[in-house]
Amino acid sequence: MELPLRILNYHETRHNTNHTEEEPPAPVTPEENTPLLHRFPNNGSERNPVTTVIVSLLLVILIAGVIIGIYLLILQNDSENILPPVERPLQLVSRSQWDTSDGDQSALRSFPYRLRAVTVVQTGTERCNSTESCTKLLLEMQNNVTAVNATLPYNFLISSNGQTYEALGWLKCIPQATKNTTPTGLLLAFIGNFTETPPTQSQLQEAKNFFDTSVSEQYLHPSYRIFGKNKNDTPTHLIDSLKAFPQWSNEFSDKN
């Protein structure tokens, strides 16, 4: 009877052993994980005030830099798009454009280098406002000239619409025109009669262009002076307008 009992006990022991191996592991209690968590505390949810201030300051600097860069770029583009003011160049009509006769100028005298004076007069005629009407008027004036070479005694003439017409040019003058006159220089005529009405703004602007061009081309000395003529038909309004020029002189070129 002992043998069967041993066999029974053996089977029960095997059954218990197998049952124990098949049982799932016991769950881990929170107390067992807690020590590891306490060794490495999680402070991610807490913000350092100093770090926040530094990050905010860097962000403000970055935004300010971007704004300044955009502003400077806009200023640069605007400065590139803005063109400097351009003065209207001299509206010169050469002698050959309005007078095709090509008259003999052998009696004319050459001017000295870099004149220091410009005498301003009026033609005493009607005004003209276009190349066509001015050409017609100038040819009529030239046909009525009885002086040397039957040519206009002016170096240049300025029309009401702001054109400069070449007559003798920068380098020539009529000998008689320089006798008993002080000082000697270019003779610039304003086309029209200005004893009662002033010259147009286009004429005055073209006169400025003429003076500037004459200086830059070295026909006039930079310290030149502008003179009027004191005769019976003094162009009072023309002289009053020219007094605004810094080169204007209160003396007259034909003073006695």
- pLDDT tens string 29-45: 555 555 554 554 555 55
In CATH terms, the superfamily for domain 92-252 is Peptidoglycan recognition protein-like (3.40.80.10)
> Above pLDDT 90, what percent of the chain?
42
Q: How confident is the model at residue 86, as a pLDDT?
A: 45
* CB contact set of 224 (below 8 Å; sequence gap of 6+): 115, 116, 117, 118, 185, 211, 214, 215, 247
This model's pTM is above 0.85 = no
The rounded distance, in Å, linking the Cα atoms of 18 and 236 is 137
- Flag the least confident range among 87-96, 131-140, 203-212: 87-96
Q: How confident is the model at residue 61, as a pLDDT?
A: 93
Q: Predicted confidence band at 10 (pLDDT cuts at 50, 70, 90)?
A: low
- Flag the least confident range among 27-31, 67-71, 103-107, 231-235: 27-31
Does the pLDDT at position 83 exceed 50?
A: no
Mean pLDDT within 220-234: 84
Q: Quote the distance between the C-alpha of residue 144 and its chain's center.
A: 47
Taken as a whole, the chain contains a residue count of 256
Q: Predicted confidence band at 84 (pLDDT cuts at 50, 70, 90)?
A: very low
Question: If you count DSSP H runs as helices and E runs as strands, how many of each does the chain have, helices first?
Answer: 7, 9
Q: 92: part of which helix (H) or strand (E)?
A: strand 92-93
Identity (one letter) of the amino acid at 184? Answer: T
DSSP string, 148-175: GGG--S-SEEE-TTS-EEESS-SSEE-G
Question: Quick one: tokens of 9?
Answer: 């006990």
pLDDT tens string 42-76: 555 566 888 888 888 898 999 999 999 898 888 87
